[in-house]
């Protein structure tokens, strides 16, 4: 199917250097608040790109759960495909595609596991069904039917029928520590505004990129 004629012009006021915060995390916070206020569905949904030892890029959508000057945190199964790839190559890229606002944010950096205390604090805040799901799924592994998955759900419900559900040893968080953060604002005729923050020893260097 030829869809080459699908296009729209990006109408926006644009982005200038003097409108940007010197701290990219504060700038991200401002744009994230705009995305929430605009009613964007799952504004914390982000594409996570990883590459393992085979050099084959992999991509999926995960949810941002926390961010600060230290980095951007998401949670997953430590035995999943993404976890295996991060063990082989602890670097990743994130993308927030807020297309409804003609905006994107791209983040590249190194990755580390968060502390067990951080993982436990978040796990304890999850709905009970999500906690059970973390115990049930051997994420990324093949399974012959959904029925088997549902059987495992019933087993875990019986096992933890009383009291709190403990944190699985194979589940927890990762923090992407940013080295580069790019803010992209769509403009007409594909002449978009792009500003990149690059971490340096004395702080962040900001430069405008060509569209």
Pick from 74, 85, 69, 64: nearest CA to 118 = 74
- Residue 76 CB contacts under 8 Å (≥ 6 apart), including other chains: 62, 82, 83, 139, 171, 172, 173, 174
Active site residues per annotation: 190
Distances (CA, A) of 123 to 58, 84, 87, 166, 188: 26, 21, 22, 9, 44
- Residue 97 CB contacts under 8 Å (≥ 6 apart), including other chains: 47, 104
Residue 206 DSSP SS3: strand
């Amino acid at each position: 199917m030829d869809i080459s004629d699908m296009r729209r012009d990006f109408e926006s006021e644009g982005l200038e250097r003097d409108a940007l915060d010197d701290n990219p995390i504060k700038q991200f916070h401002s744009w994230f608040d705009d995305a929430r206020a605009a009613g964007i569905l799952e504004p914390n949904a982000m594409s996570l790109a990883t590459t393992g030892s085979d050099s084959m890029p992999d991509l999926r959508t995960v949810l941002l759960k926390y961010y600060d000057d230290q980095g951007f945190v998401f949670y997953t199964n430590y035995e999943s495909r993404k976890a295996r790839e991060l063990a082989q190559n602890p670097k990743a890229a994130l993308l927030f595609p807020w297309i409804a606002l003609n905006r994107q944010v791209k983040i590249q950096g190194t990755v580390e596991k968060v502390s067990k205390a951080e993982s436990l604090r978040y796990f304890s805040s999850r709905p009970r069904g999500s906690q059970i799901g973390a115990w049930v799924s051997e994420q990324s592994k093949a399974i012959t039917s959904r029925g088997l998955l549902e059987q495992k759900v019933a087993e875990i419900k019986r096992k933890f029928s009383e009291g709190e559900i403990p944190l699985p040893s194979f589940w927890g968080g990762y923090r992407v520590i940013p080295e580069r953060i790019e803010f992209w604002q769509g403009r007409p005729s594909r002449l978009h505004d792009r500003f990149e923050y690059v971490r340096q020893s004395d702080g962040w260097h900001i430069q405008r990129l060509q569209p």
